[in-house]
């Protein structure tokens, strides 16, 4: 009985130590900056317009070279309700091009970097 208690205690300590090590790993995020924003003219036959931007990526703090980001938009509609939407994109250094299509009666009121997936910190 005494041996099984000691075995159980040691197993519990081993699990606790390994969980603590995993939880103790630091996470970082790349620094992202939106630049060179453009909104195209209407494109026939759909009359859509394309919002494009270059997202500059500084991932020097990260131990990985790719990840995900969500870019938020406040969309204005000529005869409709303003809504906010999120578009997911991938990031990788030094920059990536992001684009979203809008209908002819829509415009982008504002845009922002909404969520950047954490990455393991570089050592």
Is 84 a domain residue?
yes
Instruction: Say whether pTM exceeds 0.95.
Output: no
CA separation (Å) from 4 to 1, 7, 15, 16, 97?
A: 5, 5, 17, 18, 60
Count of other CB atoms within 10 angstroms of residue 26 = 10
User: Is residue 54 domain-resident?
Assistant: yes
DSSP state, residue 121: B
CA-to-CA separations, 122 to 18, 41, 69, 92, 118, in angstroms, rounded: 21, 42, 19, 15, 12
Whether 13 maps to a domain, the answer reads no
Per-residue pLDDT tens digits for 73-101: 999 999 889 999 999 999 999 999 999 99
Residue 123's pLDDT band (cuts 50, 70, 90): confident
Could you give the number of structural domains in the chain? Answer: 1
* 22-75 residue pLDDT tens: 445 688 999 999 999 999 999 989 899 999 999 999 999 999 999 999 999 999
Whether 105 maps to a domain, the answer reads yes
Tell me, yes or no, whether 61 lies in a domain: yes
Is 33 a domain residue?
A: yes
CATH number, position 101: 2.60.40
């Amino acid at each position: 009985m005494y041996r099984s208690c000691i075995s159980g205690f040691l197993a519990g300590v081993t699990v606790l130590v390994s969980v603590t090590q995993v939880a103790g790993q630091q996470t970082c995020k790349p620094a992202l900056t939106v630049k060179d924003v453009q909104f195209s003219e209407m494109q026939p036959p759909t009359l859509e317009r394309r919002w494009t931007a270059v997202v500059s990526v500084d991932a020097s703090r990260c131990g990985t070279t790719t990840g995900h980001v969500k870019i938020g938009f406040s969309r204005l509609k000529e005869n409709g309700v303003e809504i906010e939407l999120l578009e997911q994109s991938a990031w990788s250094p030094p920059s990536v091009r992001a684009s979203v299509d809008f209908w002819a009666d829509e415009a982008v009121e504002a845009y922002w970097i909404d969520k950047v997936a954490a990455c393991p910190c570089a050592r």
